[in-house]
């Protein structure tokens, strides 16, 4: 008779908030949020035209949706370290294999594999904190973890700027080597078994997340499934602060994905900016954005999450409208104006990421894990839809049309957020079966 698995042993970890394995997570940021968003769309367009980048980035974002599955698998098996390392190994294989065949079907398949592998590593990375350390220390640890990831993203954007244009294959080869190097840091990742089951989404986006807004934090499958099952009941119960916010978050992410999935192509075709300059501008904005998460969190506490969220949407909308108007001109400084405009689009994410997670938790009477599950899922699905929609628009009207579409979606997102105090309503409570 097979013996049952041993009960996890409590672990008291007194280490500081910065650990060696964070460096491997920084290397993940270099590959996934630095090199991939620049190089993958460029190679896809050269092979399949304007619609190809949308299909490739949609497949990439679709792979990110597997995060809840990886979280559930890690919980049930305890294979946290193997999942983390194997995710990086598969990521290296996918990134390295992407340019081997210049066929759209191959690009889509490998982009899906890259997204699946990245979501596995990112999911388990979050679990290393929630299941090893006391809840009271999560905030500082996630803050440092995302800071390392953001620094990796900046380094990856600089690398993509140096190689992504004329040496795209070399950039991906170097990214694959970096992923192998990150996997080789296997010994540095935590060895302890789970000691405390976290509430999914407690930390999601509170300390940054991704500029692109994809689903790179874990959400346990049971929470997400229960939340999705209650979505029809929420809709039938009528409008509420929570449904308004979910709709706004979804629309805003659709519009943003329609631009960011094509970022180097928009900057090149619409504003005449070379890939290197576009990537370095993105890197500079992302670096500055790292400094804004703390002030955004303080402002959210002082002024309210709703006010900060509306400010973020308003800033992003103003920047997109500005870019749309600049795209209609032929002035000599349009490239620099485009850099400034896109810098504001990127910086707005700092406000949206911090206030968005607070609104998701505050505006609904659903259990926090389920509310955050819907929040994470809506953003991830929006990224897939935005990428596909962007490809269709680019093929129909050209890349300049993406700025018009993104502006319209962000305007709609802002219109849904009425200026009122955010509190759970009776409609939300009806969906949960209990009062607020």
Look-up of token digits 């890939």 = 275
The whole-number pLDDT of residue 218 equals 40
pLDDT over 50 (residue 219)? no
Asked whether residue 5 is domain-assigned, the answer is: no
- Residue 214 pLDDT level (bands cut at 50, 70, 90): very low
CB neighbour class for 314 (10 Å; exposed up to 12, middle 13-18, buried from 19):
middle
Average of per-residue pLDDT across 260-267: 95
Of residues 285 and 419, which shows the higher confidence score?
Answer: 285
What average pLDDT does this structure show over 418-436?
43
What CATH number is associated with residue 153?
1.20.1250.20
Residue 163 pLDDT level (bands cut at 50, 70, 90):
confident
Residue 277 lies in a domain: yes
**Half-sphere exposure of 233 toward its Cβ, with a 13 Å CA cutoff?**
14
Residue pair 30/155 in contact (Cβ under 8 Å)? The answer is yes
Mean pLDDT of the chain: 82
Task: Give the integer Cα–Cα distance in Å for 156 and 133.
Answer: 30
- Collapsing DSSP to helix, strand or coil, 244 comes out as helix
> How far, in Å, CA of 314 to CA of 320, rounded?
10
Is residue 14 domain-resident? no
Q: What is the mean pLDDT of residues 371-388?
A: 85
| pLDDT of 82 higher than 80 | yes
Question: Which token pair is 168?
Answer: 């795209």
- Which pTM does this prediction carry? 0.83
* Domain count of the fold of the chain: 1
Q: Which of 75-89, 158-172, 241-255, 422-436 has the lowest mean pLDDT?
A: 422-436
Question: pLDDT: is 138 or 153 the higher one?
Answer: 153
| pLDDT the model gives residue 392 | 96
Q: How confident is the model at residue 363 (pLDDT cuts 50, 70, 90)?
A: confident
- Residue 256 in this model has a pLDDT that exceeds 60: yes
Q: What is the rounded distance in angstroms from the CA atom of residue 143 to the CA atom of residue 147?
A: 6
More confident residue, 425 or 389: 389
Q: Is the pLDDT of residue 306 over 70?
A: yes
Q: What is the mean pLDDT of residues 60-84?
A: 85
| The pLDDT of residue 346 | 94
Residues 264 and 157 sit within 8 Å (Cβ to Cβ) = no
Residue 16 lies in a domain: no
Q: What percent of the chain has pLDDT over 70?
A: 79
Residues sharing a CB contact under 8 Å with residue 201, sequence separation 6 or more, in sequence order: 217, 219, 223, 357, 360, 361, 368, 369, 371, 372, 373, 375, 376
Q: Where in the sequence is the domain holding 155, given as residue range(s)? A: 22-432
Q: Which helix (H) or strand (E) holds 385?
A: helix 368-397
Identify the pLDDT of residue 316: 97
What is the band of 384 on the pLDDT scale with cuts at 50, 70, 90? very high
Indicate the SS3 state at residue 201: coil
66-70, 182-186, 225-229: which range is least confident on average?
Answer: 225-229
Nearest to 387 by CA among 59, 97, 136: 59
Q: Is residue 1 in some structural domain?
A: no
pLDDT at residue 204 in the model: 41
- For residue 2, tell me if it sits in a domain: no
Inside any domain, residue 10:
no
The pLDDT of residue 224 is above 50: yes
Query: Does residue 7 sit within a domain?
Result: no
Which positions ≥6 away from 415 have C-beta within 8 Å?
none
pLDDT of residue 130: 74
Instruction: Report d(CA 314, CA 278) in Å as an integer.
Output: 23
CA angle 137, 121, 52 (to 5 degrees): 130
């Amino acid at each position: 008779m097979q013996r049952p698995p041993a009960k996890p042993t409590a672990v008291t970890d007194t280490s500081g908030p910065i650990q060696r394995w964070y460096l491997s997570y920084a290397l993940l940021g270099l590959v996934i949020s630095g090199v991939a968003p620049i190089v993958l769309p460029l190679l896809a367009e050269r092979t399949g035209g304007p619609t190809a980048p949308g299909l490739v980035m949609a497949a990439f974002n679709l792979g990110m949706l597997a995060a809840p599955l990886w979280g559930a698998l890690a919980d049930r098996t305890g294979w946290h370290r193997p999942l983390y390392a194997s995710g990086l190994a598969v990521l290296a294989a996918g990134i390295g294999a992407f340019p081997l065949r210049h066929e759209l079907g191959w690009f889509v398949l490998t982009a899906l594999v890259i997204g699946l592998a990245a979501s596995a590593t990112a999911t388990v990375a979050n679990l290393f904190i929630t299941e090893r350390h006391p809840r009271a220390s999560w905030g500082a640890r996630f803050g440092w973890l995302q800071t390392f990831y953001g620094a990796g993203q900046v380094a990856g954007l600089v690398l993509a700027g140096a190689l992504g244009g004329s040496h795209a294959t070399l950039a991906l080869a170097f990214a694959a080597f970096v992923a192998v190097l990150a996997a080789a840091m296997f010994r540095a990742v935590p060895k302890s078994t789970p000691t405390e089951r976290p509430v999914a989404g407690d930390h999601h986006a509170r300390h940054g997340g991704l500029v692109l807004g994809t689903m790179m934090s874990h959400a346990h499958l049971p929470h997400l499934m229960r939340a999705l099952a209650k979505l029809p009941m929420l809709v039938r119960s009528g409008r509420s602060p929570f449904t308004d916010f979910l709709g706004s978050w979804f629309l805003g992410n659709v519009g943003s994905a329609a631009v960011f999935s094509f970022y180097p192509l928009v900057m090149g075709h619409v504003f005449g900016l070379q890939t290197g300059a576009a990537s370095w501008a993105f890197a500079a904005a992302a670096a500055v954005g790292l400094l804004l998460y703390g002030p955004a969190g303080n402002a959210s506490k002082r002024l309210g999450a709703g006010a900060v969220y509306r400010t973020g949407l308003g800033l992003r909308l103003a920047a997109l409208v500005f870019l749309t108007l600049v795209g209609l001109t032929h002035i000599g400084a349009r490239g620099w104006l485009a850099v400034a405009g896109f810098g504001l689009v990127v910086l707005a994410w700092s406000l949206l990421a911090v206030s968005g997670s607070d609104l998701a938790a505050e505006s609904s009477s659903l259990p926090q894990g389920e509310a955050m599950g819907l929040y994470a899922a809506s953003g991830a699905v929006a990224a897939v839809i935005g990428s596909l929609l962007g490809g269709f628009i680019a093929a129909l009207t050209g890349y300049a049309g993406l700025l018009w579409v993104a502006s319209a979606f962000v305007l709609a997102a802002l219109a849904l957020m009425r200026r009122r105090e955010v509190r759970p309503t009776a409609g939300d409570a009806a969906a949960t079966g209990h009062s607020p």
